Amino acid sequence: MTTLQQIALSWFLNAAWELPVCFVCCWMFLRFLPSLAARVQHMLWLAALGFGFLVPTGTVLGLWSDSIPTSGDPRFVLPDGLSRLGLTRLLLLVFVAPALYRAFLLVRGGIITNRLRRLSIPVDLLSLQEALPRALVVNVRRYRARIFSGEPTTLEIGPFTSGVRRPFILIPAGLFALSKRQMLVSVVAHELAHVQRRDMLWHLVSEILLIPLAFHPMSCLLRNRLAETREMACDALVAERVLPATDYARTLLDVAGTLRDSAAPLHALSISESATLERRIHALISLSSLQERNLHTWQKCCLILTTSTLFALLFSSSRAIFLWMSAVPRPSTEILQTAPPPPPPPNRR
């Protein structure tokens, strides 16, 4: 097996048990502090994903270790039993195939999003000044967000936000009716909150980091946590600056009932994308997500100390597993040849 294959296999094997450790540690921390603001929770889940991606890279440090070559052959191989059974190629196939499929979905989502934007009609912001609050119109101009009116076919997807450098908001044409002004305000405010928070950038970063982790079932749970806290953070921003929490919660129900809002493209963020609507409405009504409860200084210090220790332990464990896999057992004949001679028998007089 080549060096690149050995690094890839050891990375996947380390990620198989280190990603659940990162997920459980973040989940336990949030269980102890359930009243944290949604934006703080989203940052913690992003940190958990970053740790789950970075700590397996400790395998690369094994390349510079003096303890790898235990024989004269510098090649990196697995034990002979595993190589004969072809387990190496099978494991690489199991790990790489979901990653390639997830990358294909990401590229396909970007193509679909661009196609929908080209088929949509740009909306002049001057025509929306009567429907939208003045502060919302100012923010749209400030963040240079473009608003498009989708064709009736886009009702199957619903409103969403996409674009990193030049963000745009696609809204179905049915929401521009006079009878749905409240829903239009809520949708524009929610999607603009994604633009203000730069959620599209972090969404793309998280999706790229999740590509090599697509083989792991825990990656689906992590993706759902990221989507849920991201939507709840935007809900909190809208309820704080634009609409009262109860009115906004009713509007979310109206939007979910009016639009056939299925899953948005993987390259976009929808108003109800991947998040549990029941939990979002409960958070709005109870005002638990609206309270800006940040971490105290002592909590930040404990969190930094704990995460640093955990990162060092997992990083060194990845290197140790790589060294164990790379060890080439010395032949028994060589062991006999290099064994020291037995001591001479004592002289008996």
Confidence class for position 192, pLDDT limits 50, 70, 90:
very high
Per residue in 165-183, pLDDT (tens digit) is 889 998 888 888 888 888 8
9 or 16: which leads in pLDDT: 16
pLDDT of 325 over the 70 cut: no
pLDDT of residue 157: 63
Q: 208 falls in which pLDDT band (50, 70, 90)?
A: very high
pLDDT single digits (tens) 328-344: 444 444 444 555 666 77
Q: Which of 139, 110, 140 is nearest to 123 (CA)?
A: 140
| Tokens encoding 316 | 């060194």
pLDDT at 296: 79
Burial tier of 218 (Cβ tally within 10 Å: 0-12, 13-18, 19+):
middle
Which pLDDT band holds residue 84 (cuts at 50, 70, 90)? very low
What is the reported pLDDT for 334?
Answer: 44
pLDDT for 74 beyond 60: no
**What pLDDT is attached to residue 73?**
39
Return the pLDDT at 213.
94
Are 144 and 121 in contact by the 8 Å Cβ rule? The answer is no
Which pLDDT score, from 0 to 100, does residue 69 have? 44
Q: pLDDT band for 203, please (50, 70, 90 cuts).
A: very high
Q: Residues 30-52: what's their mean pLDDT?
A: 90
CA distance 133 to 241: 11
Selection from 7, 3, 11 nearest residue 215 by Cα: 11
Q: How confident is the model at residue 319 (pLDDT cuts 50, 70, 90)?
A: confident
- In tens, the pLDDT along 225-280 reads 999 999 999 988 898 888 888 888 888 888 877 765 455 666 667 776 545 777 88
- How crowded is the C-beta side of 87, counted as CA atoms within 13 Å? 10
Would the pLDDT of 349 be above 80?
no
Give the pLDDT of residue 113.
87
CA 158-131-263 angle, to 5 degrees, is 10
pLDDT of residue 179: 82
Report the alpha-carbon distance of residue 14 to residue 313 in Å, rounded: 12
Higher pLDDT, 231 or 9: 231
pLDDT tens for each residue of 130-160: 888 888 888 888 988 899 887 654 445 678 8
**Of 195, 238, 204, nearest to 223 (Cα)?**
204
Burial (CB count <10 Å: 0-12, 13-18, 19+), residue 277: middle
User: Which pLDDT score, from 0 to 100, does residue 229 have?
Assistant: 92
